[in-house]
Amino acid sequence: MKHLCLGVALLAMSTTLRAQDSRDAQSPAEPTAADASLELIPVQPLPPPDDEAPRQLEEMVVTAQKTEQTLQEVPVSVTAIDGGFIQSTGSADLADVSLYVPNVRVDADDLGSPQVFIRGFGTNAFNPSFESSVGFVQDEIVFGRPGYFTEAMFDVDSVEVLRGPQGTLFGKNTVAGVFNVMTKDAVSGAGADGRIFYGEHGEHRVEAGLGGMANEWLGGRLAVLDRAQDGELFNAFLRRYEERLEQQAARLKINLVPSYTVDSELTAVISDTEAAFWPFQLFGLDADTRAYLQDFDPDIEDDPKNFINSAETPGWIEKGSRTLSWRTSWAPGPMGDLEDLETTLVLGGSRFYIDQLNELDISPANISRLDNHEDHDQLSAELRLTGRGAAPFGWGERVEFVAGAFWFDSSYTLLARVLAGEDLSTYAFTDDAFQLITGDGSSSSPLVLLQGLGPALVPLLENDYYQFDYNQDIRSAALFGQMTWYLSDRWALTPGLRYNREDKRVDTAGTAFCERTPAAVVPCIMGLLLEANDYDRDNLRRSESDLSPKLALQYFSDHSVNYYASWAQGFKSGGFNALSFNGEDLEYAAEEAETVELGFKGRFFQRTLSLNITLYQTRFDNLQVLAFNGTFFDVSNAATAYSRGLEADFVWLTPWAPLQIAGAYGWLDARYEAYRDAPAPIQQGIDAEQDLTDQRIAFAPRATATLTPTLSFPLGGLVLTAAVDLLYQGDQFVDTDLDPNTYVPATTRYAGRFTLGSQSERWSLTLGGTNLTDERVLNQVTDTPFFPGTYQAQLASGRQLFGALNLQF
């Protein structure tokens, strides 16, 4: 309640700030936000007589509404981070960037199945049939698999994080929000830039870009990335680092401007990643599991915060993508009452693959491995028209609009095998195996005395596995439109609507394989252990239609303050379980979200303070979740849930010229409204259930906050900059069943850096570090397959020191 009161107080404070700004203003009145919306970038004020320009915040231009606008104009809770800040903090991926965005969390440790959460809602993508609740868009191309979140991030111009349902303009599967990434374009003239980054634990990144406009009609830019690291997690059993990674990527953009009314851009991107797998540690070994594993590694331990594990399998993952896109815009000029017309066509095609082998039990015993292969192909097209014109019926000042059509076609295939290891022969006689087979969380195996017979059973395990075959085709089409109707120079109304139609076709099968005779007498061991049955379901079909509406009301006061209230809906597709062991209850329902926001965005103290605050409430129906069943994850819908809270961010150019302060704060209360058949901690028995109604949702910290003071001092022709980041994350659960062992207390981490560079920005040298106090924070804790009552944990990075050199030519 105190946080909600704080939000109301902050909203009220805007009126005080506006009044103070009015008293402080000594120059002619500034334009209102409605006036500023006529220009993409406001004209800079003339310098005062002493030729010293006043310090003012620069406008951040975003494309959150499919057209270029200043961040202050958009009636959406959005955080925009430019590429310069991303580089200065040493961020390597979207998980690093998310630390600076309130109420947002990205877990990218599983490169094939990253988890992205906004306002407490997201998707565990371990089951590949799940589509992400958070959309990913890069250079106007919508990408249809969660794995694109961990593709190479380089040559970035800006990252926009839109919170809340964005179905009207960005389509399905954006019920929680959207990451909208824009990369650098060719600029006038020719130039080159580069960045060399070296950090601890064998980390290095080399980025380079070259290009520009060769003449008025032709230009381009080529950017490349080479990245490598060893990481911190050391496998004491295999004597190797489990976070080792190598990544190479390149992007080519070719700009064609055949006339002053037509602008086209062809983009080709290639990205490849190779890494060790998985970066997990055992946690909470019970007595019988410890005794069993000590036969394979006498030094087995379960400290989840020491960056040491003992996995037997040299796991690996290879993933990558190939993307080709074409964007062309045509500005025909005025047509009747319509002005600033622009037609944009965006065509895109992408191929994405994952090949991986990893150990399911994360132990020195060879019990089971996952051999996984995924291929995804997609084609998309969007045609839209933007412009402005006279207000309908002469009511009001004008309208600005965007309308268009979208088409998406994808094909996805999965071949996954749960392989039996040779040590499954001895594991089959353990208490853990007995618990899985009987479903009793406390019983002891009466066969434990026969464990010595295990080696004799090894021949039975040769080529014994359970296989998943899953093929999915999606065809989706949509019509969308939105307009901002300026009723006066103070008031604007923004209605929007998207109609989406989707058809999904699936073939899926689960089959146990083994090489022995007669299998009818001795069934396949892995299928028996998993309690799996053979099944084959072809031509499963699901068709969905959805209307995603939006309505926003804005009031523009003097001194660039924009008050807004909005309401929006969105949906996420239903589908069919890709990892079923029996072929039953394959289908799950679509997820729907509805949100209401109230907020303001303002500039104060002669545009030296930017303050944005949003209060919101979101309600979800048929929340899609994964429930651990002892070995794998079942798909289900979790009835209803809600999230309510506050987001705020500010940037302040203080009266003391060298000092700038930026910060953000998020408060979050995300709970299950009704979830009576939720999965219970495994200690209560296999497939046990509990009532989580009115309980907190996992991955939803109560509060997140950042604070970054920055000092800059001129030194002759140089500039010295020092910055410190305070990063606070509130307490949270990091597994769906809210097991007390998955509770992570609140933590505060610090980062800092010193940068020395030329005033012309031709070069700069940065020395810095992240997590300077070496806090050990668990990102995720989940039940370990095959060892009921034991957990696998993933640890966030410890202290990292780095140096970076930036050059521009």
Instruction: Write down the number of H helices and E strands in the chain.
Output: 9, 46
Strand order in the sheet with 281-283: 281-283, 791-795, 778-783
Q: Report which listed range, 75-84, 103-112, 401-410, 447-456, is most confident.
A: 401-410
Average pLDDT of the chain, as a whole number: 87
Rounded to an integer, what distance in angstroms lies between the CA atom of residue 781 and that of residue 794?
7
Assess if residue 646 is contained within a domain: yes
Contact assessment for residue 94 and residue 153, using Cβ atoms and an 8 Å cutoff:
yes
Rounded to an integer, what distance in angstroms lies between the CA atom of residue 35 and that of residue 751?
40
- pLDDT tens digit string along 517-533? 555 566 788 888 888 88
Residues 244-259 have a mean pLDDT of 96
Assess if residue 364 is contained within a domain: yes
What residues contact 49, with CB distance under 8 A and at least 6 apart? none
**Looking at the predicted structure, is the pLDDT value of residue 125 above 90?**
no
Count of domains in the chain?
1
Rounded to an integer, what distance in angstroms lies between the CA atom of residue 169 and that of residue 150?
24
Token representation of residue 286: 């019970």
**Looking at the predicted structure, is the pLDDT value of residue 16 above 50?**
no
Instruction: Kindly list the distances between the CA atom of residue 128 and the CA atoms of 53, 375, 415, in Å, as whole numbers in the listed order.
Output: 55, 11, 11
Instruction: Give the Cβ contact number of residue 495 at 10 Å.
Output: 15
- Here the CATH number for the domain that contains residue 345 is 2.40.170.20
Rg of the chain on CA atoms, in Å: 28
Q: What is the largest CA-CA distance in the chain?
A: 97
- pLDDT tens digit string along 382-419? 999 999 999 888 888 999 999 999 999 999 999 999 99
Rounded to an integer, what distance in angstroms lies between the CA atom of residue 166 and that of residue 490?
25
Rounded to an integer, what distance in angstroms lies between the CA atom of residue 132 and that of residue 94?
15
Contact assessment for residue 304 and residue 795, using Cβ atoms and an 8 Å cutoff:
yes
Assess if residue 50 is contained within a domain: no
Rounded to an integer, what distance in angstroms lies between the CA atom of residue 38 and that of residue 268?
33
Contact assessment for residue 235 and residue 242, using Cβ atoms and an 8 Å cutoff:
yes
Assess if residue 526 is contained within a domain: yes
**Looking at the predicted structure, is the pLDDT value of residue 494 above 70?**
yes
Rounded to an integer, what distance in angstroms lies between the CA atom of residue 87 and that of residue 228?
17
Going by the DSSP 8-state scheme, the letter that residue 164 receives in this structure is S
Instruction: Kindly list the distances between the CA atom of residue 767 and the CA atoms of 33, 197, 265, in Å, as whole numbers in the listed order.
Output: 40, 10, 36
Residues 27-50 have a mean pLDDT of 34
Please give the residue range of the domain that contains residue 640: 2-45+56-808
Q: Coil, helix or strand for 299?
A: coil
What is the percent of the chain with per-residue pLDDT over 70, rounded to a whole number? 89
Assess if residue 679 is contained within a domain: yes
**Looking at the predicted structure, is the pLDDT value of residue 773 above 70?**
yes
Rounded to an integer, what distance in angstroms lies between the CA atom of residue 351 and that of residue 270?
10
Contact assessment for residue 537 and residue 578, using Cβ atoms and an 8 Å cutoff:
no
Higher pLDDT, 670 or 45: 670
Place of tokens 């079942």: 634
What residues contact 142, with CB distance under 8 A and at least 6 apart? 135, 136, 170, 171, 348, 380, 408
Q: Where are the beta strands (DSSP E) in 514-623?
A: 535-557, 561-572, 575-576, 587-588, 591-604, 609-621
Rounded to an integer, what distance in angstroms lies between the CA atom of residue 744 and that of residue 699?
10
Q: Coil, helix or strand for 191?
A: strand
Assess if residue 462 is contained within a domain: yes
Instruction: Kindly list the distances between the CA atom of residue 453 and the CA atoms of 138, 431, 457, in Å, as whole numbers in the listed order.
Output: 56, 16, 7
Assess if residue 51 is contained within a domain: no
Amino acid letter, 354: I
